């Protein structure tokens, strides 16, 4: 276990109560719940999810029998523990890649490799045409607004393929402008300013737009090379299968607690189609499940209602949590005190990431009260002699719908495809220069992909924060200020896919 000895529980709880602005006479003591929520208990649920995936084609993707079995595995346990459970059904369209081709046909010939050199967005169709660069910015810094304004396409020849640079506005806006001016296809290359996330391969989405022309993303270096090639002509072909996905969220409420201060503790239960998703996000949902079960086993009756939520459709764009929030009335939005989100908490090369609620690290804070959530987590890890690092509210997980609605949020993350630095390896162990989770979105995200030391301290932190907010006797500052969506529409991601 990567922790030091516990500090005095009363001192920790008192500091948390003060940070949260609580008026409780007796600070929340989370010791019994933390002791009850063990890594072994969470691992038992993860083994069950692995078994479900093994019996259902190797995954638990939304809309599949593997996901449905995962839902009912958890529902049966929560029902037996006395929770009030609800199945929330919804549906959406998902595009699945059937095939893709990308090649240079003039002045030379070259074939590009799917996943390594490029990846299709939601576009569909075939283009064989010259390539026209659109308002590129290839200097240093590469502060591009390429394709964001209609006038960027002045002089564009209808029928050509548009070469567009990432930056400033959404991919959807760039593609819609290209379509308006008659582009037969769109190549969007990375922006070129900053680290690998702005130079290497990226996976993008067009939001609400499903284009009837092929649209692909590629690296900055490839984009630079294309921009410097005179007489360039290319072949683009993307074949996408569109299918309706019928799926469900699982909601489980404590039978007691103030409904006007509901604490929503959530994570996504669906996996990608490529694997069983034991870390992503079996780890988060299994820990949430075990926390709920142990609260019931200990007979804890929270001051505030706790709503444990297991979202679907996250891997296709945060769709389950977005749907849930969209169905809430204004009064129901105001009744939610806080959202705690747990997405990947057992990564094998982990860092203890805490969402940057106050914005001091990334310049984008959550709604009022999110700083309190961050403080609850960082204070807990500090009390265990453990380090933490901030992670941005960038739209990559299910908190997004909540913060867009003005609801305070926060949570934990142990790392995905990002690369561990030398400094992080010194603090947290593991291997520098390697992804936090080398099996992210892959078939190898199995039960063997979990670091139990990470899961141990993360599960303690999840239990601690859940009970702390469940027993807080005064609202988090700013809680009752739910508002219309739009607060974070400039987020850079929807789930795993970049949107700008």
Q: What is the mean pLDDT of residues 133-155?
A: 88
Cα dist. 242→13, 92, 205 in Å?
Answer: 51, 10, 14
* Residues 78-92 as b or e (16 or more Cβ within 10 Å = b): beebebebeebebeb
**Complete DSSP assignment for 357-374:** TT-TTTS---STTHHHHH
C-alpha span between 387 and 149 (Å, rounded) = 44
- Name the active-site residue from 303, 314, 389, 424: 314
**Contact at 8 Å (CB) between 461 and 412?**
yes
Say whether pLDDT at 177 is over 60: yes
Mean of pLDDT over the chain: 89
CATH 3.50.30.30 boundaries in the chain: 97-240
The domain 9-83+254-498 belongs to what CATH superfamily?
A: Zn peptidases (3.40.630.10)
At residue 396 the predicted structure's pLDDT band, cuts being 50, 70 and 90, is: confident
Write down the pLDDT at residue 218: 96
Domain with CATH 3.40.630.10 in the chain: 9-83+254-498
Assess whether pLDDT exceeds 80 at residue 195: no
Could you read off the pLDDT of 30-82 as tens digits, one per residue? 999 999 999 999 999 999 999 999 999 999 999 999 999 999 999 999 999 99
Separation between Cα atoms, residue 138 and residue 149, nearest integer Å: 18
Q: What is the pLDDT of residue 196?
A: 66
HSE (CB half, 13 Å, CA atoms) of 345? Answer: 30
At 19, is the pLDDT very low, low, confident or very high (cuts 50, 70, 90)? very low
Right CATH number for 97-240 from 3.30.230.10, 3.50.30.30, 1.25.40.10, 3.40.50.11540? 3.50.30.30
**Is 314 among the catalytic positions?**
yes
Q: For residue 8, what pLDDT band results from cuts at 50, 70 and 90?
A: very low
Q: What is the mean pLDDT of residues 151-179?
A: 94
Average pLDDT over residues 197-218: 85
Describe the chain by its helix, strand, coil percentages, rounded to 5: 30, 25, 45
Structure tokens at 226: 């294309």
In the predicted structure, residue 492 carries a pLDDT above the cut 90: no
Q: What is the pTM of this model?
A: 0.86
């Amino acid at each position: 276990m990567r922790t030091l000895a516990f500090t005095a529980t009363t001192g920790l709880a008192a500091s948390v109560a003060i940070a949260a602005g609580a008026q409780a006479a007796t600070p929340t003591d989370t010791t019994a719940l933390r002791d009850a929520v063990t890594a072994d208990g969470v691992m038992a649920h993860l083994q069950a999810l692995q078994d479900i995936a093994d019996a259902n084609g190797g995954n638990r993707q939304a809309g599949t029998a593997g996901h449905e079995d995962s839902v009912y595995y958890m529902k049966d346990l929560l029902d037996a523990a006395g929770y009030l459970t609800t199945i929330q059904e919804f549906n959406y369209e998902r595009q699945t890649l059937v095939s893709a081709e990308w090649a240079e046909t003039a002045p030379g010939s070259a074939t590009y490799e799917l996943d390594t050199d490029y990846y299709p967005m939601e576009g569909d169709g075939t283009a064989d045409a010259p390539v026209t660069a659109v308002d590129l910015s290839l200097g240093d810094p590469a502060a591009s607004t390429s394709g964001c304004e209609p006038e960027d396409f002045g002089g564009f020849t209808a029928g050509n393929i548009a070469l567009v640079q990432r930056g400033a506005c959404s991919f959807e806006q760039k593609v819609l402008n290209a379509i308006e001016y008659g582009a037969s296809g769109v190549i969007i290359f990375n922006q070129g300013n900053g680290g690998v996330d702005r130079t290497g391969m990226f996976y993008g989405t067009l939001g609400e737009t499903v284009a009837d022309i092929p649209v692909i993303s590629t690296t900055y270096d490839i984009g630079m090379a294309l921009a410097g090639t005179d007489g360039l002509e290319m072949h683009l072909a993307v074949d996408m299968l569109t299918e309706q996905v019928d799926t469900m969220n699982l909601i489980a409420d404590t039978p007691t607690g103030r409904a006007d201060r509901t604490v929503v503790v959530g994570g996504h239960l669906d996996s990608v189609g490529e694997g069983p998703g034991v870390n992503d996000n079996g780890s988060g949902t299994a820990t949430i499940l075990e926390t709920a079960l142990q609260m019931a086993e200990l007979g804890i009756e929270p001051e505030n209602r706790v709503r444990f939520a297991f979202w679907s459709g996250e891997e296709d764009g945060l769709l389950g949590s977005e749907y849930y929030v969209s169905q809430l009335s204004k009064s129901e939005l105001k009744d939610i005190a806080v959202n705690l989100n747990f997405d990947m908490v057992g990564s094998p090369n982990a860092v203890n990431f805490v969402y940057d609620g106050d914005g001091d690290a990334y310049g984008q804070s959550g709604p009022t009260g999110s700083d309190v959530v961050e403080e609850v987590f960082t204070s807990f890890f500090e009390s265990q002699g453990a380090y933490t690092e901030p992670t941005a509210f960038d739209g990559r997980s299910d908190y997004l719908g909540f913060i867009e609605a003005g609801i305070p949020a926060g949570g934990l993350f142990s790392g995905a495809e990002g690369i561990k630095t030398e400094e992080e390896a010194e603090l947290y162990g593991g291997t520098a220069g390697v992804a936090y989770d080398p099996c992210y979105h892959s078939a190898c995200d199995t039960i063997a992909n979990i670091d139990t030391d990470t899961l141990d301290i993360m599960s303690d932190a999840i239990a601690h924060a859940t009970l702390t907010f469940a027993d807080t006797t005064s609202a988090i500052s700013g809680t009752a200020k739910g508002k219309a969506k739009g607060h974070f529409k400039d987020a850079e991601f929807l789930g795993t896919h970049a949107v700008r």
